Structure 1
């Protein structure tokens, strides 16, 4: 088509246009994770492996690795929860895992919270962390730690501080990802 033949698309006058539909409110249900959730959990986590420094993993986790982790945490009675949209889409997950393998650490856990990119900034992280804390208390756990990257995770640090976590230390230059050195911020909260 020649340029002079091009006619710009005409718009309907305002009184004939359909009114814009308001975006439905962001809603979700938090529930225990089940094995069928693991492919979606893997996809959420692997997004951060490939695109951010919030995890120091450099290799995507396989479904087999997630199944083994799920079985291990289930055996220990550790909370592992997911947030699901009304349409059934997994929006994010949160879990706790033992801080260290030695028996004396059995009441101390480290949390992990990951949201699908489209669910960030809508209060889901806050809801997952609050629920994870309550379920960890119910499981008899006493101390929760968060190990957060010192660059690019300011929102996560602020979220944890809102839930009563306090900074207990920093480690500099302990990880190397995307051709740069990274450190961690350690935060702790008592669950008593």
Structure 2
């Protein structure tokens, strides 16, 4: 814990000094549709980068929902889904395969993602069931190129479907039990 505080105390001023040069985008979306963005470099996901080579999309769900994401771009993108809302670019603290903490103490719990160790794998996540809460979708290049300085545009399609709310089984069971009791009572009275 002390080491983490020391690292943040040392690195945070450096990151804030150079943030106009290397800040990742913290964006948000509010529902289904197409969203556009751009990242710098074609390998930010593969090399576990924050700082400018990744985009982070925050969103909130108010009920259990199935989420699907598809990216269209000139390069292959890696995707990661985390429970929690990221406040600022996590820089070197980002993890594309597990939990991490943001620079301001945000606890980001890994839910699902594409394999960063297999170049060209990615571009979509399908039918991920999420409960109500706040989430962050991280994305960046997972290409095998060596273009670290070009900007790559992408289009992201978000598709959600609210989970069906089951009919309360207890109500049906109660009605069945009540009808059986009424039938039994009628038999006893006859």
Which structure has greater strand proportion? 2
The higher radius of gyration belongs to 2
TM-score, normalisation: structure 2:
0.25
TM-score (norm 1): 0.25
Q: Which has the higher contact order (CA 8 A, sep 6+)?
A: 2
